[in-house]
Amino acid sequence: MRHPICPTLIPLRRVRPFQLRHVSRPYTTESGTRNGFSWTRKSSEPALSCLPLTNVIRTYLITSISSSPTLWRLTFALLKRMANSSSFLADPDKNLPLRWILKKTFYAQFCAGENKEEARLTAQLIRDIGYHGVIIESALEVTGDLGVTTAPATETTEKEIETWRNNMLATVRMVQDGEFVALKWSGLGQFALMLLNANRPPSEAMKAAIHEVCDVAAAKDVAILPGAEEEATNAGIDTWTLDLMRKYNSGHSGRTIMYNTYQAYLKSTPARLARHLAAAKLEGYTLGIKLVRGAYLESESKSLLLPSKEDTDRVYNALAKSLLQGEYDEILQPVYGSDSDAFPSIALVLATHNMESVQRAQKIRNDQAALGLHRIEFAYAQLQGMADEVGCEIIQMGRSAKTTQNEGEQGPLWRKTDVPRAFKCLPWGSTSECLQYLMRRASENRDAATRTEGTRRAMGSELIRRAKRAVLIA
């Protein structure tokens, strides 16, 4: 039986034993050292065994394209032409054979569905694999141009705001309690982008739409993750987002509703983050932090960026360590003149496809759990269809931690382990809307697609392992 949304996905309950972890065998303890960090997990299968076979095959084929610069350039050009074409033959929403091909490949790999029911079913498949939940984002964005300084007509602005409002409310209703929705503030339209660029507050109509979305999200215990945007808009984004944190992150529910994104590759990020920590401490709200490496490497001025990937990795890992431990260091230094070096209440989403960053963070969490120390609200986030070899490793860590907890329920290990939570981020919308969304993200982060060789190798090894097992079972 094929899945009704993404026919390439095999429902978990119908997959053969050699495709998933349905073969009963006792847990065995595995340990080792990778990137200088020791790790231990209990496992009866390799981490990627939790993926349906069709996911492994599709990921292998797509990463075989994306890891080849020549093939990726050709594929990107073709997909971009489809995304921007008004031709019947090139429009996937009108050309049914083309739509069928895209739905079974790129759409199935990266997207949630075309409506609420499809998105819910896809999200449940992701949870069934073992992820803690999803981060869903509307693929339909009202895009603008940073260079435009003339405000659009009032009627246009009102329509853009209403489109954003309706899509955001629909997205909030798709996810379960405790999950996330993602957005871009510039998605509110051209006038919103102008206001952000000038560091001016949202209009009253924008503010009403934003607060309505936040109220619905807060009532459902759904957190909001604004995405990274270009540096020119960051001051405006900070003004909007921190103002919302003061309202929605100050309650006593214990849940952080509003987050802000910090890009480690920007030279200004440590000082900016320190200012926000000081403000949150002074004003008594929880600072929601999504930490990413950076998404606009091709378009940002090089003078704003750290000189190398190694520098970005170093700053990213240092910031993550400081935030997890609640301690300033030589990278994240307290604001000069602040009354205290103490951290405010914070919540952290570590958005990364890097296994070393995950291992560093999880070692801190495990040590804190073992010593009974305070642990902040924390989760990992990854893009759907990417770096599953890392995401599935986190799933394995979580299962091992739960097993350890159960084994020590009446003994010294009870509550002495940290169970990591991993979320997958994916857009929803029509085939053409999602294609346009994926092309925008690929344009913003052109080099990310070509850094998929590790995933291709991991999926290839998993296919060989399953083929060998199939032969043995036969």
Radius of gyration for the chain, computed over Cα atoms and rounded to the nearest angstrom: 22
Residue-level pLDDT at 299: 79
Q: Mean pLDDT throughout 111-130?
A: 94
Q: Give the residue-averaged pLDDT of 37-56.
A: 76
Q: What tens digit of pLDDT does each residue of 349-369 get?
A: 999 999 999 999 999 999 999
| C-beta of residue 323 within 8 angstroms of C-beta of residue 348 | yes
Span 271-286, mean pLDDT? Answer: 96
pLDDT of residue 155: 86
12 has pLDDT over 70: no
Instruction: Pinpoint the alpha helices (H) of 230-268.
Output: 234-248
Distance of alpha carbon 457 from the chain centroid: 22
Q: What is the mean pLDDT of residues 209-215?
A: 98
Residue 464: is it exposed, middle or buried by C-beta count within 10 angstroms (0-12/13-18/19+)? Answer: exposed
Contact 344, 287 (CB under 8 A): yes
Per-residue DSSP letter, 188: B
Res. 334: pLDDT tops 90: yes
The per-residue pLDDT for 5 is 40
Q: How confident is the model at residue 39 (pLDDT cuts 50, 70, 90)?
A: very low
pLDDT of residue 24: 32
Token output for 284: 């008594």
The contacts of residue 342 (CB under 8 Å, 6+ apart) are 281, 326
Is the confidence at residue 311, as pLDDT, over 90?
yes
Mean pLDDT of the chain: 86
pLDDT at residue 8 is higher than 70:
no
Which helix (DSSP H) or strand (DSSP E) does residue 216 occupy? helix 204-219
What CATH code is assigned to 114-449? 3.20.20.220
Q: How far apart are CA 109 and CA 324, in angstroms?
A: 32
Range 151-159 contact pairs with CB under 8 angstroms and sequence separation of 24 or more: 151/190, 151/191, 151/194, 152/189, 152/190, 152/191, 156/189, 156/190, 157/189, 157/190, 157/191, 157/203, 157/205, 158/205
Band of residue 422 on the pLDDT scale cut at 50, 70, 90: very high
DSSP-H helix ranges across 23-115: 53-66, 69-83, 96-102, 108-110
CB atoms closer than 10 angstroms to residue 159: 14
237 pLDDT higher than 50: yes
Q: Which of 28-42, 61-75, 310-324, 395-409 has the highest mean pLDDT?
A: 310-324
131: its two tokens: 């992820």
Q: How far apart are CA 349 and CA 157, in angstroms?
A: 32
The dihedral built from the CA positions of residue 303, 307, 309 and 312, taken in this order, carries a sign that is negative
Contact by Cβ (8 Å): 66, 72? yes
pLDDT at 348: 98
Two tokens at 86? Answer: 């008004």
- Coil, strand or helix: which one is 339? coil
For residue 290, CA distances in Å to 297, 309, 347 come to 18, 19, 8
pLDDT band at 150 (very low <50, low <70, confident <90, very high): low
Confidence of residue 220 (pLDDT cuts 50, 70, 90): very high
- With a cut of 60, say whether residue 216 has pLDDT above it: yes
What are the residue ranges of CATH 3.20.20.220 in the chain?
114-449
Between CA 405 and CA 413 the distance in angstroms is: 6
Q: Which residues pair with 346 in a beta bridge?
A: 287
| Of residues 142 and 464, more confidently modeled | 464
> What is the reported pLDDT for 446?
61
**pLDDT at site 13:** 38
Task: Give the alpha-carbon dihedral of 394, 400, 403, 405, to 10 degrees.
Answer: -80
Which pLDDT belongs to residue 90?
Answer: 82
Residues sharing a CB contact under 8 Å with residue 446, sequence separation 6 or more, in sequence order:
297, 298
Of 132-146, 319-333, 356-370, the range with the lowest mean pLDDT is 132-146
**φ, ψ dihedrals at 304, nearest 5°:** -90, -15
* E runs forming strands in 266-353: 287-292, 346-351
- Region 285-312: mean pLDDT is 92
Question: What secondary structure does DSSP assign to 426-450, as a single string?
Answer: EEES-HHHHHHHHHHHHHHTTTTTT
Residue 375: the pLDDT is 96
**CA atoms of 252 and 258, how far apart (whole Å):** 14
441 or 423, which is more confident: 423
Res 21: pLDDT: 36
Of 91-100, 363-372, 417-426, where does mean pLDDT reach its minimum?
91-100
Residue count (the chain): 474
Token pair for 146: 């940073």
Q: What percent of the chain has pLDDT over 70?
A: 84
